[in-house]
A and B are shown apart, each in its own frame.
Chain A
């Protein structure tokens, strides 16, 4: 009896320890984000206060109002930046997904000369830090006249994302049994139809997750964008954050407000696609 009680207490304590550990981990992950959101709603005095003010007093929308206000009063061209970010991210993601699907499918299904070498080569490009490319890229873009254009950044982001989308989508197509495409061909499909009607829907989850990653990379990228954009014509939101720094001061509240605006679309997108991810992962047509 006593032994049972001991074990029960120990199990409860263990469960409690799990929760505490989980709480600490989540706090470490979430606090910076919450801090940004919180700061976007309060004046600089509260943001800079020492010791830090954890419990908010007097939240307001001043930072947002100022941000959308006239240029002279702390306003930034938010809508223009947002549009730039959207155009660049969506287009580069779309292209990266198309190329990734073609490449991933080829790597998953076909045998060809130099396959392993090409694949390793693609993966090696991931080992190169993006920033180290900024100067060469800057020169190339300057010579080709792509500095400060949407097209320039789109090209860079496609190049950045393609190895990753190929790798991810390849993995998902590998999990789709080749029998499915063969069954579709016997059922009357052409190779093309078999891909779009059977293999693609089954691997949809993989394509979706590759899409999220590619989108978030483009959406959040700062280092290269800060080199390759000049004016409001092509500046993306992360670069726009710098508008809040001036020679002697940094407008933390404004910066946080813009950061919140940046986070929201990414968050919404992730939530939408996440549903597809889970739905797509329930395989089962083939006995394992």
Chain B
């Protein structure tokens, strides 16, 4: 049993508070991803769980133990570092077995555990090499191997894929997911890449400026973002946001068209309230190249300034009410820059945020 609990955890460096009393419960065997822009406190949070940073307030518990003041070696965790942090003077085999060596386990047991990890991560042929003679992906696997050898209660990953090239990153992402299925352990994973977060996580924790903005499954945070920050951070391309005002059952986009107030927000807004209308590119499509929209929709004209063909679809960049808006075109045809098209907006998929608090009005 290794759930991880953070209660009102605060981190201060001198007078500067960088993590402001966050609360988080991570269940046993859960894969939780902390995601956010750089400087949001996600790595600091991870390092506090690891015991590499002291906490300035609150409680952290792993399993049933409060670990606030325990050194890393007494927390039964392992960690994969962004730059791998392999011991350069040891061979792969020594790197993998180091933790067991320190724990003074019998040699036979160490060999068995190391071979097992090497098997899982297909490292067998590199066992006698030093890290300097390995490629980036191999080093990454050694770092993961070193983490799994000890059978820790909790795995911590600190941006483990950010040093790999794009192709290898996708491959290692899959391997990490497979690894989680194999070793069945609680994982806390830090990344700034929302695609990694979406694909790996059981639950995503989105952080900004030392606060948790939203916690939820990947689909939850994608479909019902709690505020405009989450709306633009999760999903690619980011959600389109247009400011406007509620006017008699309609949303009047500032300097743009009026669209019917989506049903899901009826009764949740007041006349005259300043709002932000949000919708994803997938829900704004040109007529004749759109998915059939079953619920209410709005239509308006927009000039396309730029198009990016992606094969199965084309990403269109238009401008609406003086702001850049991204739309998608299915079954694409070539679009000339400056072409004026009629667009359909799927209102059932729209989001409304309060203009002042930036929070979702759902």
Q: Which residue of B lies closest to A204 (CB)?
A: B89
The answer to the question of B210 belonging to the interface, with a C-beta cut-off of 8 Å to chain A, is no
Minimum distance in angstroms from B88 CB to a CB of chain A: 3
Decide yes or no: A286 and B85 within 8 Å by CB, A183-B79, A186-B50, A193-B102 being known contacts: yes
Decide yes or no: A183 and B85 within 8 Å by CB, A284-B130, A287-B139 being known contacts: yes
Do residues B73 and A198 form an inter-chain contact, with CB atoms below 8 A?
no
The answer to the question of B133 belonging to the interface, with a C-beta cut-off of 8 Å to chain A, is yes
Do residues B81 and A283 form an inter-chain contact, with CB atoms below 8 A?
no
Q: Which residue of A lies closest to B102 (CB)?
A: A188
* Chain A residues whose C-beta falls within 8 Å of the C-beta of B89 in the assembled complex: 198, 201-202, 204, 285
Do residues B79 and A186 form an inter-chain contact, with CB atoms below 8 A?
yes
Minimum distance in angstroms from B134 CB to a CB of chain A: 8
Minimum distance in angstroms from B361 CB to a CB of chain A: 44
Segment at the interface with B among A146-154, A155-163, A174-182? A174-182
- A185 partner, pick from B73, B103, B130, beta carbons under 8 A: B73
Do residues A180 and B87 form an inter-chain contact, with CB atoms below 8 A?
yes
C-alpha gap A162/B98 in the complex (Å) = 34
Q: Which residue of A lies closest to B79 (CB)?
A: A186
The answer to the question of B63 belonging to the interface, with a C-beta cut-off of 8 Å to chain A, is no
CB contacts under 8 Å to A, within B282-331, are none
Do residues A284 and B87 form an inter-chain contact, with CB atoms below 8 A?
no
The answer to the question of B58 belonging to the interface, with a C-beta cut-off of 8 Å to chain A, is no
* Chain B residues whose C-beta falls within 8 Å of the C-beta of A185 in the assembled complex: 51-52, 71-73
- B133 partner, pick from A183, A184, A284, beta carbons under 8 A: A284
Q: Which residue of B lies closest to A285 (CB)?
A: B88
Do residues A186 and B78 form an inter-chain contact, with CB atoms below 8 A?
yes
* Chain A residues whose C-beta falls within 8 Å of the C-beta of B103 in the assembled complex: 188
- A184 partner, pick from B83, B87, B132, B139, beta carbons under 8 A: B87
Q: Which residue of B lies closest to A180 (CB)?
A: B85
The answer to the question of B131 belonging to the interface, with a C-beta cut-off of 8 Å to chain A, is yes
Decide yes or no: A285 and B131 within 8 Å by CB, A193-B102, A198-B87 being known contacts: yes
Do residues B72 and A285 form an inter-chain contact, with CB atoms below 8 A?
no
The answer to the question of A189 belonging to the interface, with a C-beta cut-off of 8 Å to chain B, is yes
C-alpha gap A180/B88 in the complex (Å) = 9
The answer to the question of A282 belonging to the interface, with a C-beta cut-off of 8 Å to chain B, is yes
Minimum distance in angstroms from B70 CB to a CB of chain A: 12
Q: Which residue of A lies closest to B52 (CB)?
A: A182
B107-137 near A? 1/0 per residue, CB < 8 Å: 0000000000000000000000011110010
C-alpha gap A201/B85 in the complex (Å) = 14
Do residues B81 and A187 form an inter-chain contact, with CB atoms below 8 A?
no
The answer to the question of B86 belonging to the interface, with a C-beta cut-off of 8 Å to chain A, is yes
Do residues A189 and B73 form an inter-chain contact, with CB atoms below 8 A?
yes
C-alpha gap A198/B73 in the complex (Å) = 15
* Chain B residues whose C-beta falls within 8 Å of the C-beta of A285 in the assembled complex: 84-89, 130-132, 139
Q: Which residue of B lies closest to A193 (CB)?
A: B102
Do residues A189 and B85 form an inter-chain contact, with CB atoms below 8 A?
no
Minimum distance in angstroms from B187 CB to a CB of chain A: 15
Decide yes or no: A202 and B88 within 8 Å by CB, A186-B73, A186-B78, A187-B146 being known contacts: yes
The answer to the question of A190 belonging to the interface, with a C-beta cut-off of 8 Å to chain B, is yes
Of A187, A198, A282, A286, most B-chain CB atoms within 10 Å: A187
The answer to the question of B99 belonging to the interface, with a C-beta cut-off of 8 Å to chain A, is yes
- A188 partner, pick from B82, B99, B130, B132, beta carbons under 8 A: B99
Minimum distance in angstroms from A147 CB to a CB of chain B: 45
Minimum distance in angstroms from B15 CB to a CB of chain A: 16
C-alpha gap A283/B132 in the complex (Å) = 7
* Chain B residues whose C-beta falls within 8 Å of the C-beta of A287 in the assembled complex: 83-84, 136, 139, 163
* Chain A residues whose C-beta falls within 8 Å of the C-beta of B133 in the assembled complex: 284
20 A-B Cβ contacts within 8 A? A177-B83, A177-B85, A183-B81, A184-B98, A185-B71, A186-B50, A186-B52, A186-B72, A187-B78, A188-B150, A197-B102, A201-B89, A284-B131, A284-B133, A285-B84, A285-B85, A285-B88, A286-B88, A287-B84, A287-B139
Q: A182-B50, A285-B87, A285-B88 are in contact. List 12 more A-B contacts (CB 8 A).
A: A179-B85, A182-B52, A182-B72, A183-B146, A185-B71, A186-B72, A189-B102, A284-B133, A285-B130, A286-B88, A287-B84, A287-B163
A-B pairs, 10 with minimum CB distance: A284-B132, A285-B88, A187-B99, A179-B85, A183-B85, A285-B86, A188-B102, A285-B131, A188-B73, A201-B89
